[in-house]
């Protein structure tokens, strides 16, 4: 699935004021202040609580500040133009975590690929969510068919 910029994706569902505050606090390296802001918000926002707890676990981060700093490293924006092989890009039309705009931004950035195949899965296919969880069979079929097409012509 597409992941143009993990930090941007994580902030995309947050209010503009929170996005600005997080970016500013990270820029200023104000870790304790960022931690306090996030911990306060987590007490009122169950999704934020889940996202930060899950993210700190996945990134082996000891605190929210460390998690957000690490998350900023996960972007393809600076390397996409270097990719030269065949490329399959997938996305869910209603992914709750990765904005669909990231699919289009990633596709535009892949300027040197040998071939490009993009596929957006829809609600009609029950594959519109994150990683096509509603219809993994379809997603796997698309992936395997794509691999078969590439290896048959090699």
Domain range for 65 is 6-71
pTM: 0.84
Q: Which long-range contacts (CB under 8 A, 24 or more apart) does 74-80 make?
A: 74/3, 74/5, 74/6, 74/7, 75/4, 75/5, 75/6, 75/7, 75/8, 76/3, 76/4, 76/5, 76/106, 76/109, 77/4, 77/5, 77/105, 77/109, 80/106, 80/109, 80/110, 80/111
pLDDT tens-digit series, residues 75-89: 999 999 999 999 999
Domain shared by 52 and 98, yes or no: no
* pLDDT at residue number 154: 65
Among 52, 71, 90, give the residue marking a domain's end: 71
Of the residues 50, 71, 92, the one at which a domain ends: 71
Domain co-membership, 84 together with 56: no
pLDDT tens-digit readout, 39-62: 999 999 999 999 999 999 999 999
92 plus 58 within the same structural domain: no
């Amino acid at each position: 699935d597409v992941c143009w910029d993990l930090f941007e994706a994580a902030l995309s569902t947050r209010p503009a004021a929170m996005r600005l505050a997080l970016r500013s606090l990270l820029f200023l390296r104000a870790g304790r202040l960022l931690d306090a802001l996030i911990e306060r918000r987590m007490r009122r926002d169950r999704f934020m609580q889940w996202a930060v707890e899950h993210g700190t676990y996945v990134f082996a981060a000891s605190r929210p500040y460390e998690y957000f700093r690490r998350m900023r490293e996960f972007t393809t924006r600076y390397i996409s133009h270097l990719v030269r092989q065949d490329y399959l890009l997938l996305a869910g039309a209603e992914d709750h975590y990765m904005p669909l705009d990231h699919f289009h931004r990633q596709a535009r950035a892949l300027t040197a690929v040998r071939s490009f195949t993009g596929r957006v899965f829809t609600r009609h296919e029950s594959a519109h969510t994150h990683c096509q969880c509603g219809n993994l069979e379809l997603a796997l079929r698309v992936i395997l068919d794509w691999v078969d097409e590439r290896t048959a012509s090699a």
